Amino acid sequence: MSMITNDYKNALVSMRQHLHQYPEISHGETETAAYIVDFLEQFDPDQLITGLGGHGIAAIYEGEKEGPAIMIRCELDALPIREGNTKSYRSKYEDKGHLCGHDGHMVMVAGLAPLFSASRPEKGKVILFFQPAEETGEGARKVLDDPQFSGISPDYVFALHNLPGYDKSSVIIKNGVFASASKGLIIKLNGTSSHAGHPEGGNNPSTAVALILQTVQSIPQRAVALHEAALVTPIHIRVGNPAFGTSPGDGEIMFTIRAHSNEVMESLEKKILHEVRNIATAHNLSFNSKWTEPFESVDNDDETVALIRKCANELDLKVIEKEIPFPWSEDFGVLTSEFKGALFGLGSGTNAPQLHHPNYDFPDDIIESGISMFYNLVLELSTEE
């Protein structure tokens, strides 16, 4: 795109690498948000809303005529993972890293501000939205519940996620479900501890834990149809504490549940808790459960996917049509459940480390493609007759 000069590109790369050095995890994106606000204020948005659902930001550029409100969304948060890179701009913090590419996503959305400051959309308005707490699946809902959001009311919502394993700047699209629903489940079992020499004097939950582990993992095989993909992954198991003289009286199991659709997820939730209750009762154990980090499936609207395809073709970017949903989850699903919109992928290299890998680093050479895609999407919608 001719308006993206080399100086402009270099400034955006410096911005991305600065953000990379100072990652902040979900709900703690204070300095990240302040940095983004300082940048946006240079480009005179008609409205700048801060503190959305925590640390969220919306910069709004108004057109002269009535038209659609188009929201372009990115994420503010990083991950609580130690970075393995040795690059000059690696994370300054030992236990935090931008290992999902949200630093790059922020720069692609922030990079639209100079363009819309110089030339407002012809019709409607564009909302540059920086969302907090994506990684925990909580941020989008908190933003929607924030009274400040009630005046925004987007007609369209768009977002992208960089995707290792695909050619750089290729555009990955899919009608319908793009990314899976996901939830974390914590199960705690309580029996009675006793001396390890007299286990009969207590109620050790270890057998029940083993049975729950086996049973819950098998539920997708027994209760989900072939076309309704689902997955249960155990992520943490504990029985008692490392004390060889004690037969434990408590246990804990954590699972991640994934399903392509919200409907299958709801069905799985009921079946899993039914099985856990039966096992706990059979072993005379009390139990409690807690669902955490909920992600709705990202359900793409056909019209917006067609528009993404058209823009990618006009920019001569390779288009890849995905046949099945991705197994990972994205908090953008909350927005697509409320508004017409779509999430698409932007290839970040066939040999790039996977997302959340300690050595992952967002490739700066795809920034221009992301900005161009978003800009052209707004242009298409704001100039339609």
CA 70 to CA 342: how far, in whole Å?
Answer: 12
Domain chopping of the chain, boundaries: 6-177+297-382, 181-294
User: pLDDT tier at 2 (50, 70, 90 boundaries)?
Assistant: low
Tell me which residue of 285, 278, 281 sits closest to 203, measured CA to CA: 285
Query: 302-314 and 367-382 helices cross at what angle (nearest 10)?
Result: 120
Instruction: Give the per-residue SS3 of 293-329.
Output: EEECCEEECHHHHHHHHHHHHHCCCCEEECCCCECCC
Please, what CATH class does the domain formed by 6-177+297-382 belong to? alpha beta
Record the tokens describing residue 53, joined without a space: 């659902």
Edge-first strand listing for the sheet containing 319-321: 47-52, 56-62, 123-131, 65-75, 156-163, 340-347, 171-173, 319-321
Reported as a single tens digit per residue, the pLDDT across 63-116 is 989 999 999 999 999 999 999 999 999 999 999 999 999 999 999 999 999 999
For the stretch 263-309, pLDDT in tens is 999 999 999 999 999 999 999 999 999 999 999 999 999 999 999 99
Whether 6-177+297-382 and 181-294 share one fold: the answer is no
Decide if 99 contacts 83 (C-beta within 8 A).
yes
Longest dimension (CA), the chain: 82
User: What pLDDT digit, counting tens, does each position of 317-338 carry?
Assistant: 999 999 999 999 999 999 999 9
List, for residues 213-256, the tens digit of each pLDDT value. Answer: 999 999 999 888 878 889 999 999 999 999 999 999 999 999 99
DSSP H or E segment with residue 222: helix 206-223
Question: Which band of pLDDT confidence, cut at 50, 70 and 90, is reported for residue 3?
Answer: low
Q: Is the pLDDT of residue 193 over 70?
A: yes
Q: Residue holding tokens 């629903």?
A: 181
Look at residue 89 in the predicted model and tell me its pLDDT. 97
> How far are the Cα atoms of 11, 40, 48, 132 from residue 43, in angstroms, in the given order?
15, 5, 11, 22
Instruction: State the CATH architecture for 181-294.
Output: 2-Layer Sandwich (3.30)
